[in-house]
Amino acid sequence: MMQARVSFHRKLKVFLTHLHGDHVLGLPGVLQTMALMDRKEPVQVYGPPGIKDFLVCTKETLNFGLTFPVEIYEIMGEGTLVDEEEYRLTAVKSDHAVKSYAYAFVEKPRAGKFYPKKAQALGVQLGELWSKLQSGQEITLSDGRVVKSSDVMGPPRAGRKIVYTGDTRPFDGFADFAADADLLIHESTFDDSLAEKAELDGHSTPSQAASEAKAARVKQLVLTHVSARYPDASLLLEQAKKVFANTLVAEDFMELRLPLKEN
Ligand SMILES: [Zn+2]
Ligand SMILES: [Zn+2]
């Protein structure tokens, strides 16, 4: 976060996919650093049952105090975990060696495009009435005519969708969960030649991840969680690209821009 220049005070919700060390052991350090920076804003942590014990236990055994509240939510089932004005976050059970979840971040639709010329043609004066129409309200003009928002605005524009698998074997229903995502971040621990080991350990191969991306008609696939046995990920990238061309391998500090949608 320091290197990426992400503030320790910004609004933060943490979603943990499962209780394996490589996915949770970083969190106590992050929370402790935030306390050193005198954070006051609460942090919400979501994860499978056990996450509360884990955080309480580390906090007690390491004997560190926090300067802000940590709200812990143990996920009991699939569905919407967070429903904010601008987005919602949903979870689906994935298929790993322990209880695990995959997550989808889905932006709510944006208002349609505003056409000033249409408003002018209908005799709506620039100013407060425009803002009312832009926020979806209906207005009545001085001559009694009613102008609806849809008279001067295009249809709502879809939000963006990002799906993150965590560690998982391919599982039924995932393609529906990830349908039409702008970005799918999928684990790809072992290359295709180790498909049996992947199945045994609860992981996926590049061609399995790519098949899910294809079935879900996502726009961009990013492979992650590549085993340390590979000095570089070119073999995995090659295997995935045979099935789904628009694939990248995640790197630290990688930035991808997902443009707003315009219908
Ligand atoms: Zn794991
Ligand atoms: Zn892992």
Q: Which ligand is nearest to the CA of 26?
A: 2
Q: What DSSP state is assigned to residue 73? A: E
| Residues catalogued as catalytic | 22
> CA–CA separation, 130 vs 123, rounded Å?
11
In this predicted structure, the answer to whether residue 263 has a pLDDT above a threshold of 80 is no
List, for residues 162-176, the tens digit of each pLDDT value.
999 999 999 999 999
List, for residues 75-117, the tens digit of each pLDDT value.
999 999 999 999 999 999 999 999 999 999 999 999 899 999 9
The single-letter code of the amino acid at 43 is V
Q: Which ligand is nearest to the CA of 189?
A: 2
Ligand 2 centroid, distance to 170 Cα (angstroms): 15
Averaged pLDDT score across all residues of the chain:
96
Burial class (CB in 10 A: 0-12, 13-18, 19+), 152: buried
Q: Go through 128-139 and write b for each residue having 16 or more CB atoms within 10 A of its CB, e for each that does not.
A: ebbeebeeeeeb
Which whole number is the average pLDDT over 130-151?
92
Ligand 1 centroid, distance to 79 Cα (angstroms): 21
Which whole number is the average pLDDT over 38-56?
97
Ligand 1 centroid, distance to 201 Cα (angstroms): 9
pTM over 0.75: yes
> CA–CA separation, 163 vs 131, rounded Å?
34
| pLDDT at 54 (0 to 100) | 96
Q: Go through 201-233 and write b for each residue having 16 or more CB atoms within 10 A of its CB, e for each that does not.
A: ebbbbbbbbbbbbeebebebbbbbbbbeeeeeb
pLDDT band, residue 136 (cuts 50/70/90): confident
